[in-house]
Amino acid sequence: MIPTALARFRGIRQPVISAGSARIFEPGFMTERIPGRAARYFASWNVGHIVRLLGVRPIEDHPLARPLASWAYLIFRHFGNLPLRVVFDSRYLPTALPMGARLSSCWSARHVRALRQEVTISALMPEFRTWVREHLRQQVEADLGVFLDLLEQGHAVYTTPEGRFSEDGRLNRFRKSLDLMREKARHVTVAGVSYDLLRPGKLTMWVQFEEPRWPDRLDRSVIAARPVTASHLVIRAWLAGPHVSASDVIIDAKALMNLVRERAVVASDVLADPDRALAIALREFGRRSAHGTRITDPRFPFVNEFVVYYNNQWLELMTVLDQTAWPKKPQAL
């Protein structure tokens, strides 16, 4: 989403170059992002050439664990359409596959869903495993080299240093490649991203671009830039209960907003009309948790429980606030 917005901002002739997972450049990527039966019609579609026009370049972010179909595509490109059982240990293959199925079955409409499960490199037969390890080492170095060259030439590069979505809301450890990129960069801007799940309708994503508040601690700077949404405030206030009424939750949520608004980033809808934004979020929270079930969302299959997710993000922010000298909030870029 952010690379697309940056492409619109700079245009195709001078795009912000974005680092995207190498999985985007493989067939079957869209099947995990299109709900229902429609996904099978995109099983063999490779969107790599489209995202390249938007300035996205591949980087290998999961060298040792990835969907089985991804391993298959790597072998297919270098060794041809071999039988699956020649390439993979049969214990990792779905039993529904025909005995003579070949690598191209991994992005067929019939089998694409079953072959998107993530497996480690140990799923490959030993002779391919050895080749893959050496190939990936060279590929990681080559991918990183592309971005280092772009930075040295003065291009703007957008990267996600965590390399994957957070499953519990906490910031993942930054990858070592970020330090190498930062050494080549002439200027660094951080982007804080928050999803406002308790805002009904189309998913709302808040993004804050700003100067790093701590140039030597980009992880803390990202946490500080991450917008506080109505979802954060309502869930945190609810957890701090007990409350007699809905209005009590909103009062506590507003108190939390006032606690951080001068030093953190608060979503604009909350700042503009906190009572309305928080009341909407609270109603959605009540609807989703009415039967005592976990709050999940099919758009985020990797998140097990969003109450925990938002609470962890709030606690991260408060830890940064309490343990560091907090600079004045910079202007958004």
CB atoms within 10 A of CB 307: 18
Residue type, 3: P
Q: What is the DSSP string of 177-206?
A: HHHHHHHH-S---EEEEEEETTS-SSPEEE
In terms of domains, do 7 and 125 share one? yes
In terms of domains, do 88 and 206 share one? no
In terms of domains, do 23 and 141 share one? yes
Confidence of residue 39 (pLDDT cuts 50, 70, 90): low
pLDDT tens profile 83-115: 999 999 999 998 888 888 999 988 887 777 778
Beta pairing partners, 193: 207
Confidence of residue 213 (pLDDT cuts 50, 70, 90): very high
In terms of domains, do 247 and 133 share one? no
Whether residue 331 is contained in a domain is answered as no
Give the DSSP letter of residue 288. H
Q: Do residues 101 and 111 lie in contact, with contact meaning Cβ atoms separated by under 8 Å?
A: yes
Domain count of the chain?
A: 2
pLDDT tens profile 109-130: 777 777 878 899 999 999 999 9
Whether residue 179 is contained in a domain is answered as no
In terms of domains, do 311 and 260 share one? yes
Q: Containing H/E element for 285?
A: helix 274-288
Assess whether pLDDT exceeds 70 at residue 36: no
Q: What percent of the chain has pLDDT over 90?
A: 57
Whether residue 205 is contained in a domain is answered as yes
The set of residues, in sequence order, having a beta carbon less than 8 Å from that of 288 and lying 6+ positions away, is: 198, 295
Average pLDDT, the chain: 87
Assess whether pLDDT exceeds 60 at residue 206: yes
C-alpha–C-alpha distance, residues 234 and 278, integer Å? 7
What was the pLDDT predicted at 92? 93
C-alpha–C-alpha distance, residues 318 and 166, integer Å? 18
What was the pLDDT predicted at 13? 58
What was the pLDDT predicted at 289? 87
Whether residue 70 is contained in a domain is answered as yes
In terms of domains, do 135 and 229 share one? no
Is the whole model's pTM more than 0.95, yes or no?
A: no
Confidence of residue 49 (pLDDT cuts 50, 70, 90): confident
> In the structure encoding, which two tokens stand for residue 238, read together?
């609810």
Pairing status of strand 56-59 against strand 17-21: parallel
> In the structure encoding, which two tokens stand for residue 10, read together?
């700079």
pLDDT tens profile 255-274: 999 999 999 999 999 999 99
C-alpha–C-alpha distance, residues 103 and 72, integer Å? 6
In terms of domains, do 151 and 198 share one? no
Higher-pLDDT residue of 258 and 327 is 258
C-alpha–C-alpha distance, residues 221 and 202, integer Å? 28
Whether residue 173 is contained in a domain is answered as no
Whether residue 175 is contained in a domain is answered as no
Q: What is the mean pLDDT of residues 186-195?
A: 93
Q: Do residues 43 and 109 lie in contact, with contact meaning Cβ atoms separated by under 8 Å?
A: yes
Whether residue 316 is contained in a domain is answered as yes
> In the structure encoding, which two tokens stand for residue 25, read together?
């450049």
Q: What is the mean pLDDT of residues 187-209?
A: 94
In terms of domains, do 52 and 133 share one? yes
Lowest mean pLDDT among 9-18, 25-34, 101-110: 9-18
What was the pLDDT predicted at 160? 86
Domain hosting residue 63, numbered range: 2-158
What was the pLDDT predicted at 54? 80
The set of residues, in sequence order, having a beta carbon less than 8 Å from that of 200 and lying 6+ positions away, is: 280, 284
What was the pLDDT predicted at 302? 86
pLDDT tens profile 292-315: 778 999 888 889 999 999 999 999
Whether residue 238 is contained in a domain is answered as yes
In terms of domains, do 214 and 283 share one? yes
In terms of domains, do 306 and 196 share one? yes
Query: In this structure, what are the phi and psi dihedrals at residue 331, rounded to the nearest 5 degrees?
Result: -70, 140
